[in-house]
Amino acid sequence: MSFFVETFIGGLLAGVMYSLVAIGFVLIYKASGVFNFAQGSMVLCAGLTFVTMRDRGIDFWLAGLITLTIMVAIAIAVERVVLRPLVNRPQITLFMATLGLSFVIEGIAQIAMGASVHELDLGIVDTPITVGEVQVSQFDLVAAATAGVLVIALSIFFNWTRVGIALRAIADDPLAARSIGIRLQTLWQIVWGVAGFVSLVAGLLWGARQGVQFALTLVVLKALPVLIIGGFTSITGAIVGGLIVGASDSLAEIYLGSLLGGSVSTWFSYVLAVGFLLVRPTGLFGDAPIERI
Amino acid sequence: MTAIGTDTIEGFGSTDETARSWLRIALAVALLAGLAAVPLVANDYWLNAVLIPFLIMSLTALGLNLLMGYAGQASLGSGGFMAVGAYATYNILLRLPELPLPVNLLLGGVISGLVGVIAGLPSLRIKGFYLVASTLAAQFVLEWLFNQYGWFSNYSTSSSISAPRLAILGHDLSSPTGRYLLTLATVAIVTVVAIRLVRSQTGRTWMAIRDMDTAASVIGIPVAAGKLKAFFVSSLVIGIAGALWAFAYLGTVDARSFNLDRSFQVMFAIIIGGMGSISGNYVGAAFMILLPILLDHVGGAVFGGAIDPGQLENLQKALFGALIVWFLIKEPRGLAALLSRAWTQLASRFER
Amino acid sequence: MSIRKQKRITSRAIGLAALVLSLAVGATASAEDAKTQYFPLATFRVGAYASSGIPVWAGEIDYFRYINEVEGGINGIKLVWDECETNWEVEKGIECYERVKAGKNGSPVPIFLPHGDPISKALTEKSVADKIPLVTIAYGRTEAIDGRVFPYSFPVVFSFWSEASSAVNFIAEKVGGKDKLKGLKIATVYHDSPYGKETQVPLAHLAKTYGFEDIQIPVPHPGNEQSAQWAKIRQLKPDWVFLRGWGVMTPVAIKTAAKVGFPVDHIIGGIWSGSEEDVRPAGAVGKGYLAITPFPAGANFEIHQKLKKHILDKGLSDLKDPKSFGSVYYNSGVDEAIVAVEAIRTAQAHFGVRPINGEEAQWGLEHLDLSEKRLAEIGATGLQQPLKLSAKDHEGGGAGKVLQWDGEKWNVVSNGWVKSDRELLLPLIYERAAAYARERGITPRDATN
């Protein structure tokens, strides 16, 4: 039993890490209706920039600030150069454009900062804590707490600030929002900037877990089912989806894997996601688009 | 906003329609004859590394385009269906060696088509970008299946499959020329069939579903059957392409060759080439297969030795990504539309 | 439109096609006698594994430069090389192979190093048709040890089967003899890919022979999340973990092992989980981690002194990060270059001092004899194990050293080279090679010549 609980909790905590990446997707999707596949590259770019600064002996907070500035600059550039010209294009075209964009970001980031693996030490001790018979990783707890703080901060931002309210107006109806004087472009840039910040946090935590290297871009593959389950437009959905994916992946790998021969976690969450979609075609917390004939 | 917007390309609607269409057929025949004559002059490199993958990618794009460009159902499962085609064909060749190769390829395609129908079932309920996401399940399950179970690869140590001897009516096709001609013939035949199909009742049904799903069902078009048929035909074509990818191109292959990146590549090919356009598949495949090779050759020739090779490779990658984004912005209807416009201008200049 | 106009269009189209075709075939080499030896390098400087590759090419290129600059080439024949990017993908690897296989400026390709397990497998048959030997050091198809069936594949030095066997033998060394293996639990945590599965058969066989329990735990690609796998390890409580990863999987495994409290000094990394690039990102918890490798790290070998003096100090090195000088991957590049150069030298001794083609290099490889004496002359004693190849044995060595990470660098902790049980495994390998030959309709070569 304690083994089950341990696997389950380990999975939940891993799921929080997926949620961190998924939140970045949700922010951009809400504001500009783009499923931004370049999120993985942004995580890599943020992690790489930060760790390169640290390697040159720059102070932790200063490095964070510089990285954030760069991420916001990238966000603004992306909005100007890629998104604005692609307004009103089919969603799949926008998606593929962000995939093309990810090649650009990865290429340039590695030209500037090289392709070597960097160690990233955030100073978080990672010895397990034992509660009863169950072991829990301290690092994962810190990551989960970070995600929690992030979600609360974002909720406050979206619900209580002028910018946040304007954003919700845009997500509801872009045309109406514009007609009452909301400046779409500025808001997009703000949201992409916030998404840049989220990728910095994700890049740091993932980078500390596995080293800052190209494989950071692959975290998006785990964020996808999280988004399908939680819905593309809900931050709460990203958290709940992450927990579901993390826990079910871990349990499936152990219990289903011993029946089917392992590595079931490569597809289990996707199949689960399709199951959810069949019941709720726009995810657990997603908004259903209105169809007019 | 719809998930997939398509514009069919109607660039030829002028007065002497028949003369033009004859000209197009004549050109197509000339092109085919020219392509068939390529092995007389091209070396192994051009056949093995450039033309064969280009032709197979065109075929894969054609398969996805039938589903996405005509029936409006987007899929990121192409890599998985290619794998089904490859592994099915391998097993048929292995277990029923007496069947002739074309029958074999077709059977492999049919199996892939049936798997496609299963993978397409969620499309009856899920729409738009969520459907795209759901096809990823098929992609990952299939990739896992062939890697996991040794039976599919006849328990080879590396769970990879190798091309059995390719032969038609006793003619050995294992030389580069043989494999090239096999690919070319398959692509030509499937293209002709596909053109006829999209102009038939089936094609019209698909386009009705694509343009207005709900409205189509209201006026009595069998939407569910139409969607599943599209999944079947599309996966069939992609399956054949997968078998060719495995045996006519690579020779030895494992499931990793049909991963998500391959699905993305196919999707790029049709979006850049032009959705709902047959010629777009070739242009798009050329973009995806030939452009990186071209960039590599040009990069090596211009900067070789002067720039650090790692920087050069990353530069090429960034440039390729930028070109993708640029073409997506510049040409909403795909490169095929661009070429079609250029062609119309060229033809009208000749007429003057 | 008139017929004349149509003809005009057609003739222009044909003209254009002819132009394209003439460009296509224009790249044929001049037949002029080359005085240099062409040596193409398939590299992966982009993509998920670039960080592992970059030091490898540096080691290789530095050794080639050393041969050219200091020794004036191989018996006076200088090496020339160019790179082709594979992204570690089969498709691009084949493109590279096809691009370079005809040689350059009349100089043929002696050896092709695929640098990637899937690429090497895809090229197995093409290389036979083109008569270009594939040298895959410490990767590639294990059955290819049987050169009678696989004349052009050379998994030299340390195959995956030998890797597994040497790891088991190292455990025996630690527990006090092979008879003490009985009853131990050895869990193999592997990258779930054809590469990762390669050691299942030999480990099952060794488990039966020595009486240890063989546990296999797959990690799905890319391996950036392993909490389930290590929870299972905590439950099964193996005595040793043999970690066969690739790329990001290794540091994540080391970190996750620490999370569940598995002792890091009882994890033995495989060849591709045993470099600085694998263990450094794991940080402090990597201290004490073991790894078996045919490429012992260190910059104190004699050849390194020479490389430092003639190449690095003169600014000729391909290495961007001087920290990597003497790293596992750098040394693997040096090792690869030594084997290639010595095979060419052996072929030259037989066929004459001139650029060697693939068929001749194949002979050179099958007659390669890197004795202790020769290794001492090169300055590679301790870096490279003695190696003697033949048609029946394309591996030759079959031993590895075990390194331990002290937080800064690797130290050798095994008693010299840990030999594998080749005599035990070879019959199985030959059996599998024969099965392959039957399936593919290959008649094995006569090995007596």
Contacts 24+ apart (CB under 8 A), B295-302: B295/B319, B295/B320, B296/C84, B296/C85, B300/C82
Q: Is B191 on the interface with C (CB under 8 A)?
A: no
Q: What is the pLDDT of residue B148?
A: 86
CB A49 within 8 A of CB A113: yes
- Max Cα distance, chain C (Å): 93
Residues of B in contact with C14 (CB under 8 A): 30, 34
Q: State chain C's mean pLDDT as an integer.
A: 87
CA closest to A91 among chain B residues: B3
CA distances from B72 to A95, A281, C229, C415 (A): 16, 17, 41, 65
Distance (Å, whole) CA C445 – CA C298: 40
pLDDT for A291 equals: 52
User: What pLDDT was estimated at residue B110?
Assistant: 96
How far is the C-alpha of C403 from the C-alpha of C413, rounded, in Å?
A: 6
pLDDT for B31 beyond 80? yes
Percent of chain C with pLDDT over 70: 92
Helix axes B52-65, B176-198, angle to 10 degrees: 20
Q: Residue A274 is nearest to which of B128, B137, B319, comparing CB atoms? A: B137
Helices (H) and strands (E) in chain C, counts: 15, 16
Share of chain B above pLDDT 90, in %: 48
Q: Which residues of chain C neighbour A259 with C-beta distances below 8 Å?
A: none
As a whole number, mean pLDDT of residues C288-307 equals: 92
Cβ distance C202 to C161 under 8 Å?
yes
pLDDT tops 60 at residue A8: yes
Residue A268 lies in a domain: no
Distance (Å) from the C-alpha of residue C162 to the closest C-alpha of chain A?
Answer: 25
* C neighbour chains, 3+ CB pairs within 8 Å: A, B
CA-nearest of A210, A213, B252 to C255 is A210
Q: Look at residue B150 in the predicted model and tell me its pLDDT.
A: 84
For the ranges B156-170, B254-268, C117-131, C148-162, the lowest mean pLDDT is seen at B156-170
Is A147 contained in some domain?
Answer: yes
**Strands (DSSP E) along chain B, which ranges?**
161-162, 167-168, 171-172, 252-253
Q: Is B318 on the interface with C (CB under 8 A)?
A: no
Please name the residue that has the structure tokens 């010595």: C342
With vertex at residue B146, the alpha carbon angle to CA B145 and CA B151, rounded to the nearest 5 degrees, is 105
DSSP letter, residue B122: G
Question: pLDDT per residue over C382-420, tens digit each?
Answer: 999 999 999 999 998 889 999 999 988 999 998 889 999
Looking at the complex, does the CB of residue A264 fall below 8 Å from at least one CB of chain B? yes
B-chain residue closest to A86, CA distance: B329
Residue C100 is encoded by which pair of tokens? 């370079």
Cβ-defined contact of A90 to B218 (cutoff 8 Å): no
Count Cβ atoms below 10 Å from residue A257 Cβ, excluding itself. 21
ipTM of the complex, rounded to two decimals: 0.89
The average pLDDT across B297-326 equals 85
Of B141-155, B194-208, B238-252, least confident by mean pLDDT is: B141-155
The residue ranking higher by pLDDT, A292 or B176, is B176
Tell me the pLDDT band of B16, cut-offs 50, 70 and 90.
low
pLDDT, tens digit (0-9, with 9 covering 90-100), for A217-234: 888 888 888 988 888 888
Instruction: Kindly list the distances between the CA atom of residue C45 and the CA atoms of A119, A170, A218, B83, C62, in Å, as whole numbers in the listed order.
Output: 20, 43, 18, 28, 17
Is pLDDT of A160 > 50?
Answer: yes
Contact: A100, B125; criterion CB under 8 Å: no
Mean model confidence pLDDT for chain A: 85
Contact A107 B141 (CB under 8 A): no
A38: nearest CA partner in chain B: B321
| List of chain A residues whose C-beta atoms are within 8 Å of the C-beta of residue C219 | 263
Closest residue of chain A to C45, computed from CA coordinates: A115
Tell whether A72 is covered by a domain. yes
CB contact under 8 A, A114 and C320: yes
CB proximity B260 to A under 8 Å: yes
Q: Average pLDDT for residues B180-189, to the nearest whole number?
A: 94
The mean predicted confidence, pLDDT, of chain B is 86
pLDDT at B3: 46
Q: Region C2-13: what's the mean pLDDT?
A: 51
Please provide the DSSP assignment of A34-47 as one string. Answer: ---TTHHHHHHHHH
Please answer yes or no on whether C285 and A126 come within 8 Å at the CB atom: yes
Is residue C258 less than 8 Å (CB to CB) from chain A?
Answer: yes
Question: Is there a contact between A111 and B321 if contact means CB atoms under 8 Å apart?
Answer: no
3-class SS at B70?
Answer: helix
Residue of B57 and A179 predicted with greater confidence: B57
| B 160-219 residues inside an 8 A Cβ radius of A | 212, 214-215, 218
CA dihedral B105, B106, B110, B112 (to 10 degrees): 30
> Can you tell me the mean pLDDT for B341-347?
84
Per CB-CB distance under 8 Å, the chain C contacts of A135 are 234, 259-261
Whether A191 is covered by a domain: the verdict is yes
Q: How many domains does chain A fold into?
A: 1
Q: A102 pLDDT band (50/70/90 cuts)?
A: very high
* C128 touches B: beta carbon within 8 Å: no
In a domain? residue A151: yes
The three-state secondary structure class of B16 is: coil
The yes-or-no verdict on residue B6 having pLDDT over 90 is no
Scan residues 85-104 of C and list those with Cβ closer than 8 Å to B.
Answer: 85, 90-91, 94-95, 98-99, 101-102
B-chain CB neighbours of A33 within 8 Å are 1
How far is residue A27 from each of residues A166, A232, B258, measured CA to CA in Å? 14, 9, 31
Compute and round to an integer the Cα radius of gyration of chain C. Answer: 24
Q: Please indicate if any CB of chain B lies within 8 Å of the CB of C8.
A: yes
Q: Does B45 touch chain A (CB under 8 A)?
A: no
Q: Please name every residue paired with B132 in a beta bridge, in sequence order, or none if there are none.
A: none
Q: What is the mean pLDDT of residues B219-239?
A: 92
Among B23, B158, B249, beta carbon nearest to C194: B158
| Residue contact C51–A116, C-beta within 8 A | yes
What pLDDT is recorded for position C188? 94
Can you tell me the mean pLDDT for C426-444?
Answer: 88
Which H or E element spans position C309? none
Integer CA distances (angstroms), C125 to C85, C129, C137, C396, in order? 21, 6, 18, 22
Report the residue from B44, B313, B350 with minimal CB separation from C85. B313
Beta bridge partners of C213: C185
* Structural domain for A90, as ranges: 21-216
Contacts of B298 (CB under 8 A, 6+ apart): none
pLDDT the model gives residue B60: 96
3-state secondary structure of A8: helix
Determine contact: C200 vs chain A, CB below 8 A: no
Task: Please compute the mean of the pLDDT values over residues B189-210 and round it to a whole number.
Answer: 92
**B5 touching C, CB under 8 A?**
no
Contact between residue B338 and residue B277 where contact means Cβ atoms under 8 Å apart:
no
Token pair recorded at residue B239: 């399956």
Contact between residue C55 and residue B72 where contact means Cβ atoms under 8 Å apart? no
CA A18 to chain centre: 7
CB contact under 8 A, C255 and A222: no
A263 touching B (Cβ < 8 Å):
yes
- Whether residue C420 contacts residue C162, with contact meaning beta carbons closer than 8 Å, is answered with yes
* Count of beta carbons in the 10 Å neighbourhood of residue A259: 8
Higher pLDDT, B284 or C1: B284
Asked whether the beta carbons of residue A97 and residue B144 sit closer than 8 angstroms, the reply is: no
Nearest CA in chain A to C50: A115
Residue A92 domain-assigned (yes or no) = yes
Contact list in B for residue C320 (CB cut-off 8 A) is 308
B157 band by pLDDT with thresholds 50, 70 and 90: low
Predicted confidence at residue B9, as pLDDT, reads: 42
In this prediction, residue C25 carries a pLDDT of: 43
Say if B14 is an interface residue toward chain C (CB within 8 Å): no
Per-residue pLDDT at C237:
92
Lowest mean pLDDT among B6-20, B166-180, C73-87, C232-246: B6-20
pLDDT-derived band at C448, boundaries 50, 70, 90: low
Mean pLDDT for the stretch of residues C321-326: 87
Q: Is residue A123 situated within a structural domain?
A: yes
Provide mean pLDDT across the span C302-324. Answer: 89
The C-alpha atoms of residue A44 and residue A47 are separated, in whole angstroms, by 5
Nearest Cα neighbor of B316 from C61, C83, A211 is: C83
* Nearest-Cα residue of chain B relative to residue C318: B308
Q: How far apart are CA C111 and CA C255, in angstroms?
A: 39
SS3 C386: coil
Task: Answer whether residue A234 is part of any domain.
Answer: no
pTM: 0.90
Looking at beta carbons, which residues of chain B come within 8 Å of C197?
A: 157-159
pLDDT at A292 over 60: no
Over residues B83-111, mean pLDDT: 92
Judge whether B169 and B176 are in contact, CB under 8 Å: no
Q: State the DSSP H helix or E strand holding residue C371, giving kind and residue range, or none if neither.
A: none
C-alpha–C-alpha distance, residues B21 and C29, integer Å: 43
B42 interfacial to chain C (CB closer than 8 Å): yes
pLDDT tens, residue by residue, A110-156: 888 888 888 888 888 777 888 777 778 888 888 889 888 988 888 88
CA distance B240 to B238: 5
Q: What is the pLDDT of residues C272-295, one digit of tens each?
A: 999 998 898 888 889 999 999 999
pLDDT score of C63: 95
Q: What is the pLDDT of residue B10?
A: 42
Judged by average pLDDT, the poorest of A178-182, A219-223, C26-30, C275-279 is C26-30
Could you give the 3-state DSSP secondary structure of residue A133? coil
- Picking from A128, A111, A139, the residue whose alpha carbon sits closest to that of residue A204 is A139
A92, A224, A272, A293: which to substitute to probe chain B, counting the most B Cβ within 10 Å?
A92
Distance CA C399, CA C196 (A): 19
Closest partner CB to C231 (pick from A10, A110, A213) = A10
Residues of A in contact with C277 (CB under 8 A): 116-117
Phi-psi region of A263 (alpha: psi -120 to 50; beta: other; left: phi over 0): left
Please state, for a pLDDT cut of 90, what percent of chain C lies above it: 58
- Tell whether C194 is within 8 A of chain A (Cβ): no
Check A95 against B132: CB less than 8 A apart. yes
CA distance C82 to chain B (A): 9
What distance in Å separates the CA atoms of residue C285 and residue C260, rounded to the nearest whole number? 12
Distance CA(C305)–CA(C309), nearest Å, equals 6
The CA distance from A213 to the nearest CA of chain C, in Å, is: 8
Do the chains contact at A114 and C285, CB–CB below 8 Å?
A: no
Other beta carbons within 10 angstroms of residue A156's beta carbon come to: 11
Q: Do A291 and B214 touch (CB under 8 A)?
A: yes
Distance from CA of B171 to the nearest CA of C (A): 17
Domains within chain C, CATH numbers bracketed:
36-158+298-398+421-440 (3.40.50.2300), 161-293 (3.40.50.2300)
Question: Measured between CA atoms, how close is B54 to chain A, in angstroms?
Answer: 20
For residue C30, pLDDT over 70 is answered with no
The number of C-beta contacts closer than 8 angstroms across A and B is: 153
Residues A253 and A7 sit within 8 Å (Cβ to Cβ): no
pLDDT at residue C47, as a whole number: 79
* Res C10 pLDDT > 60: no
pLDDT at position C1 is: 44
The radius of gyration of chain B's CA atoms, rounded to the nearest angstrom, is 21
